[in-house]
Structure 1
Amino acid sequence: MKALVHAGITGMEGLSFMDFEKAEPGKGEVRVRLKTAGMNHRDLIVLERHKGSEPPLVLGSDGAGIIDAVGEGVEDAKVGDEVIINPGLGWRENTDAPPQGFEILGHPFHGTFAEYVVIPSENALPKPAFLTWEEAGVLSLGALTAYRVLFTRAKLKEGMKILIPGIGGGVATLMLQMAKSVGAIVYVTSRSEEKRQAALEMGANQAFDSNGEWAEALGGKKMDVVIESVGAATFNKSLSQLRTGGTLVTFGASAGDTVELNLRAFFYGQFNLLGSTMGSGEELREMLSFIEEHNIRPVIDRMFPLKDYQAAFDKLNRAEQLGKIGFIID
């Protein structure tokens, strides 16, 4: 099969579009002939995390396709089923945190940037009929992350005020749509006027410049919830927008992972600080029902042929996209 493989050199230079062995499904597994796959910021991290001295690795976490082979003992799937892939391995029920041994496709196990992928049968869910192949292929990791952050962790409800800094990426655009669908009042930031305008068109109540004075832009309004995924560069600005007793949920640190926190201000503010990472299989099924009920579709910036991976990774690395970037495989 053709696959996007990382080997030999740590970093982007280790990527190659090449022939790679097609695996057979084992007991309890299925093989999916992929039609589309989605990129995530995680793919950039894996380029550094997966060392050149380690065995070759097929990257990619998100994908959708058609089952073409089933292993021994599989009763919940059959050849010909159209499926969307749950990238999370070993986290079935909605628990406070993932169980020991939880992993994500694309590292350390082979992922979805290939013509075929072998996964546990429980990770192949029926493709929502209302989604296109492109939408299904880029959905799971980002939408599951957004769903857990908003509803499992932040307990977002109608009428609550929420701030989402750094609108533009796949998770943030899905959060905006999900939050609006339950009647929340949504504020977003971006350095890009184009992304701010797009967010307003998607339903944001206010969009303002990330480089400006946030408190001034908000006119003194304080948030019930702030979602923090940028990291050290914005963490304290985000925290300062919370109302007394408000909740900040963090799930990313692309701009630094170490922050200085004023503990006295924090405990006098009665703030709640929560961490979150992706989500469980149970939450993924809930999320798929939720987006179908509210007709939520991922925003897609561009789909690339897999052989054009260099341009796709460059675009992702520059954070130029509005929504998701993905690959057309079949």
Structure 2
Amino acid sequence: MFAVSAVRIDSKDPLSGLELGEREEPASRAGWTTVTVKAASLNHHDLWTLRGVGITEDKLPMILGCDGAGVDEDGNEVVIHSVVDPRDGKPSILTEAYNGTFAQKVLVPKANLVPKPAALSWEQAACLPTAWLTAYRMLFRNSGLKPGDTVLIQGAGGGVATAAIVLARAAGFRVWATSRSEEKRARAVELGAHAAFESGARLPERVDAVLETVGAATWSHSVKSLRPEGTIVISGATSGAMPPAELTRIFFLQLRVIGSTMGSLDELKALARMCEVTDVRPVIDSVLPLAEARTGFERMEQGEAFGKIVFTV
């Protein structure tokens, strides 16, 4: 079968380890099922894998892709929850210990399948399991926000950030976003942000919570933008993970700093239901055939995308 794989780790030139070509189809396994992939979406995690984060050379080659939607062996249209929780080991996500979704077929535990929302296209459904699920947990489990509260979303344009803008607006929060790009700020407002500001700009007032996925480049601004006893929820650090700690401000204003990773199977089901009963739809930057996956990786690495890059199979 055709697949997109990591065959080599290179922290400085990650795309040099990307290979497109034939791989063996997955073998059957008790309690697991083969899903014929219809669409799969790209995440920064796939770039980090090529850099050697969360994986070692002995695990290669590894088929990439955490997110996917397709048809299982019984003909059901499904979305794949990518967190695998084996009884005999620690939880991991696809592409860390198990081949991923950038292939014609992927083997996953039957328990990891969620019915595909009929209201969503294959491409939209493939966006839910990682970036959109991450944004869902950040907002509805970890932020402490109530309808009417103000949330600042750093780095408008990324998959998690665009998801958070749409979900936060649908939930009744006042939504502010930041970006270095004037075009991305304008698009954030089109998505539903009440206002968008240049990265690092002084805000009209302090916010109740900040969703932080950028890291070093925006961390100080995130801390300074919070009201006393406000919350920063962190789910990534695409610009680097070692910013100044700002410890004095954090303890003096009694700020909360909460880490957030992915989401549970039940949260994915809840997100799917939210899409069914509202007009919430994943934001897609571009759709490419899997054979052109390298173009998608290059677009993500260069920071050009606004929303999700999706591969069709």
TM-score by length of 1: 0.89
Match of 2:47 among 24, 44, 47: 44
Aligned to 1:293: 277
Query: In the alignment, which of 25, 28, 32 is matched to residue 25 of structure 1?
Result: 28
Whole-angstrom distance in 2 between the partners of 1:294 and 1:282: 18
Aligned equivalent of 2:80: 85
Offset at residue 124 of structure 1 (A) = 1.3
Q: Spell out, residue by residue over 1:46-73, the C-alpha distance to the aligned partner (whole angstroms, 9 max, x if none).
A: 00114555431101000111113xxxxx
Of 288, 291, 308, 1:307 maps to 291
Query: Which consecutive residues of structure 1, in runs of 5 or more, have no partner in the other structure?
Result: 69-78, 93-99
Give the number of equivalent residue pairs: 308
Of 104-113 and 289-298, the range deviating more from structure 2: 289-298
Q: What is the rounded CA distance, in whole Å, between the counterparts of 1:54 and 1:127 in structure 2?
A: 31
Residue 63 of structure 2 aligns with an amino acid whose one-letter code is: V
3-state DSSP of counterpart to 1:259: coil
Q: Give CA-to-partner distance per residue, 1:144-166, whole Å, 9 cap, x none.
A: 10011011111222100110011
How far apart in 1 are the matches of 2:9 and 2:232? Answer: 38
Deviation for aligned residue 1:214: 2.0
Which residue is equivalent to 2:249? 265
Distance 1:104 1:143 in 2: 15
2:98 corresponds, among 96, 109, 112, to: 109
Q: 1-side partners of 2:252 and 2:277: how far apart?
A: 40
Of 124, 127, 149, the match for 1:135: 124
CA offset at residue 308 of structure 1?
1.0
Q: Distance in 2 between matches of 1:5 and 1:268?
A: 47
- Residue 16 (structure 1) aligned with residue 16 (structure 2): no
**Cα shift at 1:269:** 0.4
Q: SS where residue 214 of structure 1 aligns?
A: coil
Alignment of 1:1-330 (within 5 A): 1-8=1-8, 10=10, 11-49=14-52, 50-52=55-57, 54-68=59-73, 79-90=74-85, 101-210=90-199, 213-215=200-202, 218-219=203-204, 221-329=205-313
**Cα distance, 1:289–1:3 mapped onto 2, change above 3 Å:** same
SS at 2:30's partner residue?
coil
In structure 2, list runs of 5 or more residues that go unmatched.
none
> For 2:31 and 2:172, how far apart are their aligned partners in 1?
41
Question: Post-superposition shift, 1:259?
Answer: 2.5
Q: TM-score, normalised by structure 2?
A: 0.94
CA distance in 2, matches of 1:2, 1:243: 51
Contact 2:223-2:249 within 8 A present in 1 as well: no
Matched to 2:124, the amino acid is: E
Rounded to whole Å, the distance in 2 between the matches of 1:18 and 1:46 is 18
Residues 26-60 of structure 1 show CA distances to partners (whole Å, capped at 9, x for unaligned) of 11111000011000010000001145554311010
SS at match of 1:107: coil
Cα distance in 2, alignment partners of residues 130 and 310 from structure 1: 29
Looking at structure 1, the residues matched to 47 and 9 of structure 2 have their Cα atoms a distance apart, in angstroms, of: 14
Aligned letter for 2:31? Answer: G
- Label 1:325 to 1:104 Cα distance change in 2 as closer, same or farther (>3 A): same
CA contact (8 A) 1:170 1:298 kept: no
CA distance in 2, matches of 1:193, 1:91: 45
- SS of the equivalent of 1:162 reads strand
Q: RMSD between aligned alpha carbons?
A: 1.8
Is 1:14–1:52's contact at 8 Å kept on the other side of the alignment? no
Which residue does 1:71 correspond to in 2? none
